[in-house]
């Protein structure tokens, strides 16, 4: 699918009923002051009268961040998804929101089976029984965007089928148009609310959500992940059934395993907790530092353990990418922290970030030194890598340094797997496990083959630069003659 150009005032007016609903919920949870500041009260004539003083007093006992979470939950799929994504972005939101938004609940009643059957008919132009020999009417799980059913294809294999809710794409499209309109008003009227670049947030979110709504992309991610680890016996990737997959329906192999967080059952099945912790962390490190393509949501519900301690991910809706240059710069940052070199750490952090204005380097180096005093002068086995990286991100945010969205996804993934590893094995040493990968990527940088490749690439770039210079000079001189320079 392709979203329309969002934020159009004309389209927003066409969706006035939904707009009023959104504003009503904002009033309900004590954000009438924000609505007033946005100067859109004319869209909602009775909003304030709908909220009693008793309710206002009750709702004001909750923190601002908790009230935002309640707003998002009540407004449904688009807003819940946005909150989940923003919970990984401390560069965009104050810390109180980053701590609160992970508590978002995405629980909705399941879609009736008649609607599920109709969606299958629409997507394949065939009735359900021509695609599946058996199909459970009750879903295994239901969320705001889709739900999952167990089924069987005609060759007898068990599968799970993820199906989007009817009309969800239209619902999201309408909400995004309204969000963009509100974001534009926020940039004009809410400068003191400490929300960074609202329209950019909505644009990034729309791009992310558009990808998540195309299940053929998720199928492609699974197939790429499977190719990356096809010779790795400790990893298993469910098979995708392309003939039963469309942009709105994803059919994959049914996995019967033990959730990685179910420690009691892991022990009952005779699985090795320590080995699972080690293999699980090695897997995320290989994804990031070897392949640059990683599972960005490896929470325990998405990780199953199969016999012989084999790790299996079951949801590939959110993936991240890091190019080689970013991976190398991140490795430099980690090694400078391990070696307690604040100057190199500050330099590495700057190389990983963007800034609209020149940062105060000495202030940054001072803050990095204070950060190291807090974290780095203790035994390495006591260092929590996730907490360390999150605080480093806060330091970058303080200096208005922007970090790539996929870098945030990587840090979230590392933190999640680190937490799971330490739950499985209290003696799990994340720095010891990470060090070989960090050292390997640094050694590869000075390998003769890599140096030769970089020199060849630089030579080509220099050749094109020299070739283009005369034309560029002529263009500048022409502009100068026209008085435009």
Q: Please report where in the chains the tokens 């070989």 appear, as a residue.
A: 436
pLDDT in tens, the chain (485 residues): 455 454 454 555 568 888 888 988 988 898 888 888 887 765 555 444 456 667 777 887 899 999 999 999 999 999 999 998 888 777 777 888 888 998 887 778 899 999 999 999 999 999 999 999 999 999 999 988 999 999 999 999 999 999 999 999 999 999 999 999 888 888 888 776 656 678 888 998 898 899 889 999 999 999 999 999 999 999 999 999 999 999 999 999 999 999 998 999 999 999 999 999 999 999 999 999 999 999 998 988 899 999 999 999 999 999 999 999 999 999 899 888 888 888 999 999 999 988 878 889 899 999 999 988 887 777 767 778 888 888 888 888 888 888 888 898 899 899 899 999 999 999 888 888 888 888 887 776 665 665 565 565 555 555 544 555 555 455 555 555 555 44
Query: For 44-81, how does the pLDDT look when each residue is reduced to its tens digit (9 = 90+)?
Result: 554 444 566 677 778 878 999 999 999 999 999 999 99
Nearest CA to 262 out of 303, 307, 228, 292 is that of 303
Cβ contacts of 448 within 8 Å, gap of 6 or more: none
Q: How far apart are CA 431 and CA 410, in angstroms?
A: 16
Cβ contacts of 400 within 8 Å, gap of 6 or more: 355, 356, 357, 359
Q: How far apart are CA 369 and CA 122, in angstroms?
A: 60
Q: How far apart are CA 465 and CA 461, in angstroms?
A: 6
**3-state secondary structure (DSSP) of residue 353:** strand
Tokens of 469: 């210079």
Q: Which pLDDT belongs to residue 456?
A: 59
**From the candidates 91, 175, 214, 297, which is the catalytic residue?**
297
Domain 112-165+214-254 indexed as CATH 1.10.10.10: no
> Is 297 one of the catalytic residues?
yes
Query: For 280-307, how does the pLDDT look when each residue is reduced to its tens digit (9 = 90+)?
Result: 999 999 999 999 999 998 988 899 999 9
Nearest CA to 75 out of 26, 6, 4, 35 is that of 26
Number of separate helices (H) and strands (E) present in the chain: 21, 13
- Domain limits, the chain: 9-105+172-212, 112-165+214-254, 257-442, 447-485
């Amino acid at each position: 699918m392709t979203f329309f150009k969002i934020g159009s005032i004309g389209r927003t007016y066409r969706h006035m009923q939904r707009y009023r609903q959104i504003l009503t919920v904002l009033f309900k949870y004590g954000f009438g002051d924000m609505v007033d500041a946005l100067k859109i009260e004319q869209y909602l004539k009775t909003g304030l009268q709908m909220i009693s003083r008793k309710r206002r007093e009750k709702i004001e006992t909750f923190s601002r961040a908790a009230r935002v979470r309640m707003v998002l939950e009540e407004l449904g799929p688009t807003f819940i998804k946005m909150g989940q994504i923003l919970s990984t972005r401390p560069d965009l939101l104050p810390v109180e929101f980053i701590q609160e938004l992970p508590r978002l609940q995405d629980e909705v009643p399941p879609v009736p089976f008649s609607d599920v059957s109709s969606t299958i008919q629409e997507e394949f132009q065939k009735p359900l029984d021509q695609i599946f020999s058996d199909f459970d009417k009750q879903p295994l799980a239901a969320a705001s965007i889709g739900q999952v059913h167990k089924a069987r294809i005609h060759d007898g294999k068990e599968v799970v089928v993820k199906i989007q809710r009817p009309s969800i794409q239209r619902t999201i499209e309408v909400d995004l148009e309204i969000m963009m309109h509100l974001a534009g008003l926020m940039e004009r009227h809410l400068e003191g609310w400490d929300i960074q670049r609202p329209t950019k947030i909505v644009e990034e979110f729309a791009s992310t959500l558009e990808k998540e709504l195309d299940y053929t992309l998720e199928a492609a991610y699974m197939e790429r992940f499977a190719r990356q680890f096809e010779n790795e016996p400790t990893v298993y990737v469910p098979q995708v059934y392309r003939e039963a997959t469309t942009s709105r329906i994803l059919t994959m192999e049914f996995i019967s395993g033990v959730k990685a967080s179910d420690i009691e059952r892991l022990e009952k099945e005779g699985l090795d907790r320590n080995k699972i912790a080690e293999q699980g962390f090695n897997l995320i490190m290989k994804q990031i530092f070897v392949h640059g393509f990683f599972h960005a949501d490896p929470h325990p519900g998405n990780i199953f353990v199969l016999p012989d301690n084999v790790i299996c991910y079951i949801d590939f809706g959110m993936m991240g990418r890091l190019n080689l240059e970013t991976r190398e710069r991140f490795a430099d940052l980690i090694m400078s922290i391990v070696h307690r070199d604040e100057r190199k750490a500050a330099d590495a952090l700057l190389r990983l970030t963007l800034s609209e204005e020149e940062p105060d380097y000495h202030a940054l180096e001072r803050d990095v030194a204070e950060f190291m005093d807090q974290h780095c002068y203790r035994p390495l086995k006591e260092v929590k890598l996730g907490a360390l990286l999150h605080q480093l991100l806060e330091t970058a945010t303080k200096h208005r340094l922007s970090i790539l969205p996929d870098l945030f996804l990587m840090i979230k993934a590392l933190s999640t797997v680190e937490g799971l590893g330490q739950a499985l094995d209290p003696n799990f040493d994340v720095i010891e496990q990470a060090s070989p990968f960090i050292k390997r990527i640094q050694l590869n940088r000075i390998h003769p083959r890599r140096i030769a490749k970089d020199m060849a690439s630089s030579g080509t770039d220099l050749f094109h630069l020299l070739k283009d210079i005369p034309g560029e000079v002529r263009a500048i001189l022409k502009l100068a003659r026209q008085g435009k320079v």
